Amino acid sequence: MAELQSWTDGPTKSAIVDFVGRVTAEGGPEYVAPEARVAVFDNDGTLWCEKPMYIQLDFIIRRLAEKAAADSTLVDQQPYKAASSGDLNWFGGAITKHYQGDDTDLKVLAGAVMSLHESMKVEDHAARVSGFFADAKHPTLGRPYPACTYVPMVELLRYLEGNGFTCYIVSGGGRDFMRPITSTIYGIPPERVVGSAQGLRFEGQDGIGDLLIRPALDVFDDGPEKPVRIWNRIGRRPILSAGNSNGDDEMLIYSGRPDRPSLRLLVLHDDDEREFAYTAGAERALEHAKTYGWTVVSMKNDWSAVFSA
């Protein structure tokens, strides 16, 4: 199979190939040892589809609707009301407003989400997530969610690994939502998934212990928290980073240093025929891409295919 075969020949593909060539050329001025070839990727909107809503949000909405069906007192409260009526605009609006600086609705949503899996064992939660991915489909594309990954980005993961890079997912999405599926769809094992997470507590009895989910946020891995989590979890500054929104801005900034090579990729959703076209929630990142010379990846122009056939 040809390398990066779903990438159209042009400046963007050339920037990737040229960068990898420079950092892997032993004896060259920009050579980077394999152990320092760290690449970090956002997930939602960078590796898989995030519209008309995050895939994890679909999982959450289904769980909220189940909870409202079991407790009629919740039906008229947000976000249970929106979940029960299928009002996706309320959820999408909460996310967009967050990236524009307004967390009012996101806080309401977060409060409900924290209580959804309270005291559930982490393995039971993983099984529930796996069951979701086995059955659920994208609401408008009609594709199973595992088939909503971007083929060119998966090719990029393989290309980088073939050149001595270690790739990590660093996402605002839930760590324990991504881990059950990332090995299958990306070839990224659970230990290389960094994301938002609820708190956990240990419970042991008769020599057997379990981790149970607490109804509290441990970390929200978004914006300036992403570089902090990268250092805490990986212990190295990436030389390649890829994102698509304002929530990835700080991660891309952190990946660059004037004294060493770096490549920052910003995925632009500009293909409303094969996927979606939008820039809401990415305004600051796009402005920084222009200012700092980051590589903007046009879905429309740089990818000959978006999804698998």
pLDDT tens for residues 39-67? 999 999 999 999 988 999 899 999 999 99
Does the pLDDT value for residue 1 go beyond 60?
Answer: no
Which comes out higher in pLDDT, residue 2 or 157? 157
Phi-psi category of residue 57: left, alpha or beta, with phi > 0 → left and psi -120 to 50 → alpha: alpha
Cβ-proximal residues to 144 (8 Å cutoff; 6+ apart), any chain: 133, 136, 137, 138
Q: How confident is the model over 93-102, as pLDDT tens digits? A: 887 888 788 9
Return d(Cα 297, Cα 243) in angstroms, integer. Answer: 10
